[in-house]
A and B are shown apart, each in its own frame.
Chain A
Amino acid sequence: MIKQSGVRSQGSGVRKIIIFLAVFCFLVIGSFLLSPAHAGEYTFDISETEKKPYQIGGYAEFRPVLSGLDKDASLHKLKFYNRDEGSVIEEYNAKLQLEGSLEKGVAKLFIKTNTDYKKSYLGEDQKTTVYEGFLSIKPSSSLTIDIGKKTLRWGKGYAWSPVAFIDRPKDPDDPELSLEGFIVASADYIKTFQGPLKTLSFTPVLIPVYEHVNNNFGDVNNLNFAGKLYFLFYDMDIDFIILTGGSKTTRYGADFSRNLTTNFEIHGELAFIADYKKRFIDSNGNSLENVYDAKSYLIGIRYLTEEEATYILDFDILYFTPSITAIANVNDKSFSISPELLYTGITNLELRLKASFLSGERQSEYGEKQNDYRAELRARYYF
């Protein structure tokens, strides 16, 4: 049975998406007109590049979102239970991300904070989190030691990385967003060679998990070890990854990435998790647990055609980047498809309009998500 509820909500949803599109166009044209055109000569003085021992920066963003709900989906029932919020819900998000660093000799202190504000059918919510805060010591170009809260971001996948064993899950709707790290001690050791093996690097990581430290990583009272061995071998990036130590079951991973031609890249990941525990809730509300050895993999490509670039430029819109992301579950044939339009024509301002459409039969991954579609507008200013 294919999901039907999306059809009912299409009318008002489509009208609101059109409003988003109109606001996006208005913002693009407005910012374009407000940004002055400078003709004439260009200058560059070396004093502009002077290095300071400290750096401060970040961005602020506003992001309204529209979601068309699928009232028959399991996740809708789980989240909304007996509340009726209509077929389309709106939410308004704001974000402030700040980062700063202080550098002296071989040592560098880095901090990144994130403040999220959300107004939705549930009311208002605000939260500030220290995403990263660590001391980095670099005694030579082949060795770095980091201690503190840090994000590792392992894996080659764009929207999903099964080998990212020590990362919090990415938001597939916005995989480039910063993530909160864990408190770790890590090192990077690099060695280079002549010949087919050009680079080898080793990244050992210690992850303490105790009552007040990383307690949401897994089972407490364990000191976990993770490691990544990287090779650049015959022009291919290859990583071998391991996590063990008791907070989570031992897991192994491998990934690769390679350019095939001047405009074509391919990457992949493979993860093996021993004794993986998956929890289920049945229709009576009973909690069940299934333990098995899990294998996950992905293959991805990135492709750019000159014809597309030419086509876009003929319309005089150099700074528009259209893209489309599709994520499919090959087992149940459900998928999400997300077209987006990014405008970066104004220095330090980024405007993005993104929509996502979900499709799948009942009992499938995307068929049971709470939304049929989603549209969002994001205005981000860097400083």
Chain B
Amino acid sequence: MLKIFGFILALMIALPAYAIDGTSLLKEVDRNLNPESYESYRKLINIEPDGRKKEYTLFTVKKGADKIASLFLAPASEKGRSTLRLGDNMWLYIPNVGKPIRITSLQSVVGGVFNNADILQLDYAAEYDVEKVEETGGEYLLYLKAKTKTVAYDRLKLWADKGKKLPTKIECLTEANMLIKTLYFKEVKDFSSGIVRPSVIETDSPLYKGYKSVMIFAGIKERKFKDEVFTLTFIPSLESLR
């Protein structure tokens, strides 16, 4: 009798750990990072081993789970370049070339450690399934598996703050669990209208020894857009949304 009671008690203690709904948690992390539809201003900085830097300023608009577009505002050599992502489809528009060309998620339009999939990041829950969730101290550790072969990283390990439900670190892995890069989420900031999230994302990679890339957010706000904004035909006109 005592054994049965002990077993039930053990189950009751263990239950909360198994009761975490990984998918809901991941969706919550997504919503805490960004509203479902928003505009943002951010700067990407590529830092070389000797401290030399190259900076890019981007205006970004996103709608729903799978539509995102970015316009380069600086430097002058990149000004007017735009990128569009619709699910697995990505395009780059260069004003001089005058027409959009398809790009792939593993390339990088800025030539740093961030690739196109990092720069045009969709909701994590749109691209990944949660395989399991572990609790480690004050953090959740979510093991994510890509829903399709077309997703840039096959696996992610996402550490999220238990209280804020915001990511603190993400390891991007291949199918064979080889580390491609690590993203560090830092400096949580109040962007007003209820958006409180990390304002700095740093990344490094064993493939890019000594290099570091940083993404800094200066503004994020909820904004609704029409679907027509996220089309190849509209991409040269992104500036009109500012």
Contact = CB atoms under 8 A, between A and B. Distances in A.
Interface of A: 35-40, 42-46, 48-49, 51, 57, 59, 103, 108, 138, 140-142, 144, 151-156, 158, 176-179, 188, 190-192, 198-199, 201, 203, 230, 232, 235, 237, 257-259, 261-265, 267, 302, 304, 306, 309-310, 313-314, 316, 318-319, 321, 344-345, 347-350, 382-383
B57 to A, nearest CB: 6
Contact of A262 (B49, B105, B228, B230): B105
Interface stretch (B24-32, B136-144, B165-173, B206-214): B206-214
B43 A344 contact: no
A304 B242 contact: no
Contact of B75 (A198, A235, A259, A347): A347
Interface residues of B, number: 68
A151 B51 CA distance: 41
A383 B79 CA distance: 10
A190 B233 contact: yes
B98 A178 contact: yes
B241 to A, nearest CB: 8
B104 A142 contact: no
B207 A235 contact: no
Nearest to A40: B51
Q: Is the interface of B mostly helix, strand, loop or mixed?
A: loop
B106 to A, nearest CB: 5
A259 B88 contact: yes
Interface string B35-68: 0000001110110111111110101000000000
B232 A347 contact: no
Interface stretch (B1-9, B11-19, B89-97): B89-97
A40 B53 CA distance: 10
24 contacts: A38-B52, A39-B51, A43-B216, A44-B42, A46-B41, A46-B218, A46-B219, A49-B57, A49-B218, A57-B79, A138-B237, A176-B97, A178-B96, A199-B232, A232-B86, A232-B232, A259-B88, A261-B150, A262-B151, A304-B104, A321-B111, A344-B77, A382-B75, A382-B76
Contacts of A191: 228
A355 B208 CA distance: 29
B231 A318 contact: no
Contacts of B97: 153, 176
Given A49-B41, A178-B98, A235-B89, A35 B52 contact: yes
Contacts of B79: 57, 382
A304 B107 contact: yes
Identify the 10 closest CB pairs spanning chains A and B, nearest first: A39-B51, A153-B98, A192-B227, A382-B77, A201-B233, A382-B76, A153-B99, A46-B218, A44-B43, A44-B216
A108 B106 CA distance: 35
A304 B106 contact: yes
A78 B111 CA distance: 44
A38 B232 contact: no
A24 to B, nearest CB: 18
A262 B149 CA distance: 8
Contacts of B77: 59, 344, 347-350, 382
Residue among B105, B234, B239 facing the most chain A CB atoms (10 A cut-off):
B234
B183 interface: no
Given A38-B51, A313-B209, A347-B54, 16 more contacts: A35-B52, A44-B43, A48-B74, A138-B240, A140-B228, A153-B99, A177-B96, A178-B96, A190-B234, A237-B102, A302-B102, A314-B209, A319-B111, A347-B77, A350-B77, A382-B76
B75 A263 contact: no
Contacts of B156: none
Contacts of B103: 265
A37 B50 contact: yes
A154 B213 CA distance: 35
